[in-house]
């Protein structure tokens, strides 16, 4: 490494976020940046550790351990320290098509598996990654790369989320003519309408990259849903191969008493209408203003609902999570290089605490009934505390604690309980097989090839709900498999 003793000499430093009470007044990104000199100092903390786990890309105990994309983190840390920013950018793009996305929305399993993190605070990998790619944009190093060859093959990518975009980018560079179909009015999929603007700016970051992909020859067709206004038969007939990247968009519901009350929404519906309004400068969205809002689900989507409701001017916010609160510190049963499990306070919780004076999260709590007013609109959520214990099969199950009931006032309820797999109509029309979890089944030997030889699948629709980094990795893998199927060999990384 450029400075072998850097991890001893320098302490971890991350950029501050904008003050909570300032940033909740707009929809702009809330992250600030470290200076270039401080980024170089932070890159010097990367150890010459011999066997780096930061880019292992493994799954241990159900969570990512190390970067799913196998980013060459020690290499570009060394290049940054030595001031070789353009070379660092090239090394970063060898494994990751969209580092500006992962640097903003990935929870950084690379840092969780950093060798230095086993004895000290880990290297600020995500901040360095963001600095490298943003310098590339500022310096003009990310000009469109037009493919120099054409294979004459036409490929359709269905879905323009992170998996679809990475598959399209790779296949385009291999010389294939790529068309991306997106049912929404703008490309980006989850990145466009599933992640709020304050986490990932649509115009300044997402569409900037999509404009580059268009300039490189990728054709985007929006407002088009395969199986509805563009037939599946036509798709198979007109293209040499198809890559399905349709995501896991079937939300998990909560079928309790009162579920049909007005004002109860799925989280993605809520987030998408708000992003539409932000981009289109309209007032046509699901509005939390002056409402008591109850969010059911404690994951990232639930947190995004918290941040959105705060900005809309909700009167109060409660976020119910059926699982118990994580420990305050990493436990002995959660050793490095596993993903460290402890209580984190995300941006939305910080904002809610600043706005309302308290953390909105309520752990070990289950909603059991939605109460409605005389007009059929939700007015309250009845909930109980639960405790988790192992049953006779060794499985953790919960039971309600008698006498622990509590009623939360609510004129809006947002269900953010995760997703159950891809929507089935297109898969039934195409006739592709699904696995027991309802995801698209792919051939074990070729991983990304479905039961139809010229149809491939990648991302959440294949592996289940997961990280953006996994989706990008899946898109790259499917592109490699598709290219090999069409050409008999592949040189794609």
DSSP 317-383: EEEE-SSPPPPSS--TTS-TTSPP-S----HHHHHHHHHHSS--EE-SEEEEEEEE-TTSBEEEEEE
pLDDT (tens digit, 9 = 90+) per residue, 293-333?
999 999 999 999 999 999 999 999 999 999 999 999 999 99
Q: What does the alpha-carbon distance between residue 467 and residue 126 come to, in Å, rounded to a whole number? A: 15
Residues 298 and 424 in one domain: no
Pairing of strands 412-415, 264-266: parallel
pLDDT category, 82, cuts 50, 70, 90? very high
Task: Give a yes or no: residue 493 inside a domain.
Answer: no
Task: Give a yes or no: residue 254 inside a domain.
Answer: no
pLDDT category, 2, cuts 50, 70, 90? confident
User: What six digits make up the tokens of 34?
Assistant: 């470290």
The answer, yes or no, to whether residue 50 has pLDDT greater than 90, is no
Q: What does the alpha-carbon distance between residue 196 and residue 200 come to, in Å, rounded to a whole number? A: 6
Residues 314 and 408 in one domain: yes
Residues 238 and 373 in one domain: no
- Of the listed ranges 60-69, 88-97, 460-469, the least confidently predicted one is 60-69
Residues 12 and 134 in one domain: yes
Q: Number of structural domains, the chain?
A: 3
Q: Choose among 208, 2, 25: nearest CA to 104.
A: 208
pLDDT category, 1, cuts 50, 70, 90? confident
**CATH number for the domain that contains residue 162:** 3.50.50.60
Residues 411 and 424 in one domain: no
Residues 239 and 274 in one domain: no
The pLDDT assigned to 275 comes to 98
pLDDT (tens digit, 9 = 90+) per residue, 402-442?
999 999 999 999 999 999 999 999 999 999 999 999 999 99
Q: What does the alpha-carbon distance between residue 116 and residue 337 come to, in Å, rounded to a whole number? A: 10
The answer, yes or no, to whether residue 250 has pLDDT greater than 90, is yes
- Say what percent of the chain tops pLDDT 70: 100
**CATH number for the domain that contains residue 82:** 1.10.1060.10
Residues 424 and 410 in one domain: no
The pLDDT assigned to 18 comes to 97
Task: Give a yes or no: residue 222 inside a domain.
Answer: yes
Provide the residue range defining the domain that includes 381. Answer: 264-415
Task: Give a yes or no: residue 170 inside a domain.
Answer: yes
Residues 129 and 113 in one domain: yes
Q: What does the alpha-carbon distance between residue 299 and residue 297 come to, in Å, rounded to a whole number? A: 6
Which of 363, 387, 415 represents a domain boundary (last residue)? 415
Task: Give a yes or no: residue 427 inside a domain.
Answer: yes
Q: What DSSP letter does each residue of 393-440 carry, written as one string?
A: TS-EEEEE-TT--EEEE-SEEEE---B-SS-HHHHHHHT--B-TTSSB
Q: What does the alpha-carbon distance between residue 405 and residue 399 come to, in Å, rounded to a whole number? A: 13
Task: Give a yes or no: residue 76 inside a domain.
Answer: yes
pLDDT (tens digit, 9 = 90+) per residue, 273-289?
999 999 999 989 999 99
Which of 107, 139, 171 represents a domain boundary (last residue)? 139
Residues 303 and 352 in one domain: yes
Q: What does the alpha-carbon distance between residue 234 and residue 474 come to, in Å, rounded to a whole number? A: 26
The pLDDT assigned to 215 comes to 98
Which of 116, 139, 162 represents a domain boundary (last residue)? 139
Q: What does the alpha-carbon distance between residue 145 and residue 166 come to, in Å, rounded to a whole number? A: 15
pLDDT category, 445, cuts 50, 70, 90? confident
- Of the listed ranges 246-250, 259-263, 311-315, 443-447, the least confidently predicted one is 443-447
Residues 396 and 297 in one domain: yes
The answer, yes or no, to whether residue 382 has pLDDT greater than 90, is yes
Task: Give a yes or no: residue 147 inside a domain.
Answer: no
Rounded mean pLDDT of 443-465? 94
The pLDDT assigned to 443 comes to 87
Q: What does the alpha-carbon distance between residue 209 and residue 30 come to, in Å, rounded to a whole number? A: 20
- Mean pLDDT rounded to a whole number for the chain: 96
Residues 312 and 407 in one domain: yes
Task: Give a yes or no: residue 145 inside a domain.
Answer: no
Residues 410 and 427 in one domain: no
């Amino acid at each position: 490494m450029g400075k072998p003793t850097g991890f001893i000499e320098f302490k971890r430093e991350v950029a501050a976020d904008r003050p909570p009470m300032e940033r909740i007044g707009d929809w702009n990104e809330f992250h600030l940046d470290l200076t270039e000199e401080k980024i170089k100092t932070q890159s010097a903390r990367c150890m010459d550790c011999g066997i780096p786990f930061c880019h292992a890309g493994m799954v241990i105990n159900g969570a990512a351990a190390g970067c799913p994309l196998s980013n060459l983190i020690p290499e570009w840390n060394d290049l940054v320290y030595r001031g070789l920013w353009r070379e660092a950018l090239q090394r970063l793009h060898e494994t990751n098509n969209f580092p500006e996305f992962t640097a903003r929305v990935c929870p950084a399993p690379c840092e969780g598996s950093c060798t230095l993190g086993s004895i000290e605070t880990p290297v600020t990998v995500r901040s360095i990654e963001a600095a490298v790619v943003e310098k590339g944009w500022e310096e003009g190093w990310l000009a469109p790369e037009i493919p120099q060859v054409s294979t004459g093959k036409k490929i359709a990518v269905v879905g323009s989320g992170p998996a679809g975009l990475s598959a399209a980018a790779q296949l385009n560079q291999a010389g294939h003519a790529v068309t991306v179909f997106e049912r929404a009015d703008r490309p980006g999929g989850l990145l466009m309408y599933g992640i709020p603007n304050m986490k990932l700016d649509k115009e300044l970051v997402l569409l900037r990259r999509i404009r580059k992909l268009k300039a490189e020859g990728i054709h985007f067709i929006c407002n088009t849903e395969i199986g509805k206004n563009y037939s599946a038969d036509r798709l198979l007939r007109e293209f040499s191969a198809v890559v399905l990247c349709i995501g896991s968009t079937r939300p998990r519901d909560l079928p309790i008493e009162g579920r049909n009350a007005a004002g109860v929404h799925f989280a993605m519906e809520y987030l998408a209408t708000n992003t539409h309004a932000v981009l289109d400068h309209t007032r046509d969205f699901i509005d939390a203003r002056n409402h008591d809002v109850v969010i059911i689900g404690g994951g990232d989507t639930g947190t995004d609902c918290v941040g959105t409701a705060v900005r809309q001017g909700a009167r109060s916010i409660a976020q119910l999570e059926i699982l118990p609160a994580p420990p305050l510190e990493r436990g002995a049963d959660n050793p490095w290089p596993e993903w460290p499990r402890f209580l984190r306070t995300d941006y939305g919780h910080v904002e809610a605490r600043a706005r309302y004076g308290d953390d909105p999260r309520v752990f070990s709590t289950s909603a059991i009934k939605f109460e409605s007013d005389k007009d059929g609109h939700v007015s309250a959520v009845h909930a109980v505390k639960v405790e988790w214990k192992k049953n006779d099969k060794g499985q953790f199950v919960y039971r309600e604690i008698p006498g622990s009931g509590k009623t939360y006032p609510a004129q809006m309820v947002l269900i953010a309980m995760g997703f159950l797999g891809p929507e089935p109509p297109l898969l039934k029309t195409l006739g592709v097989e699904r696995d027991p979890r309802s995801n698209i089944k792919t051939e074990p030997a070729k991983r990304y090839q479905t039961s139809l030889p010229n149809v491939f699948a990648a991302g959440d629709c294949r592996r289940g709900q997961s990280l953006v980094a996994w989706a990008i990795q899946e898109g790259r893998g499917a592109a490699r498999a598709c290219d090999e199927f069409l050409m008999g060999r592949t040189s794609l990384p």
